[in-house]
Amino acid sequence: MAITLTVNGQRRTVAAAPDTPLLYVLRNDLELNAAKFGCGMAQCGACTVLADGQPVRSCVMPVSAMAKTKITTLEALGSASNPHPLQKAFIEEQAAQCGYCIAGMIMSAKALLDRNPRPSEAEIREALAGNLCRCGTHNRIVRAIQRAAKEMSP
């Protein structure tokens, strides 16, 4: 069936079965490849995108449930020449090894900073508890979010 979504401020119509995971539509139909397939079971956070500003696991979110939702993916945040403060801070703190988890980490961090511009370290760790990093860069990721928070609300 045809399903119309609002993704990164644009209306996009795709042909998909209603129970198709949003992640598949983003990656396969809309060529938005930042969100990653990790576990496919809402356990790792690699597929995190924002739905009306809230982080959701797109690997288990049926696309049909998203029709009235504003979806934001990492692609909407910034570009290589004009990165979002979070993207800049992740680079400055070298907060990635393989990078597989990073899109999900940044989207969870964005949702956090949007609702709490100066989070404590404990609040950052709590907000990212569902985002796993197999490379063990958690401490750098926390520092990157603290750095971005400072830059965004000096």
Identity of the residue, 11 or 19, whose beta carbon is nearer to ligand FES in the bound complex: 19
Decide: is 98 part of the binding site for ligand FES (CB under 6 A).
yes
Identity of the residue, 36 or 147, whose beta carbon is nearer to ligand FES in the bound complex: 36
Decide: is 147 part of the binding site for ligand FES (CB under 6 A).
no
CB 101 within 8 A of CB 44: yes
Decide: is 46 part of the binding site for ligand FES (CB under 6 A).
yes
Q: Which of 6, 8, 64, 97 binds ligand FES (CB under 6 A)?
A: 97
Rounded to whole angstroms, the Cα distance separating 19 from 42 reads: 15
Find the part of the chain contacting ligand FES (CB under 6 A) among 42-50, 70-78, 83-91, 121-129: 42-50
Please report how close the Cβ of residue 79 comes to ligand FES at its closest, in angstroms. Answer: 21
Q: How far apart are the first and last CA of the chain?
A: 48
Q: Which of 6, 42, 70, 125 binds ligand FES (CB under 6 A)?
A: 42
Query: Maximum Cα–Cα distance for the chain, whole Å?
Result: 48
The enclosing H or E element of 51 equals: strand 48-51
Q: Which of 16, 25, 45, 86 binds ligand FES (CB under 6 A)?
A: 45
Report the candidate in 47, 66, 46 with the shortest Cα–Cα distance to residue 58.
47
Q: Count the site residues for ligand FES by CB under 6 A.
A: 22
What is the secondary structure of 78-110 as a DSSP string?
Answer: --SSS--HHHHHHHHTT--SS-TTHHHHHHHHH
Binding positions for ligand FES, rule: CB under 6 A: 37-40, 42-47, 57, 59, 96-101, 133-135, 137
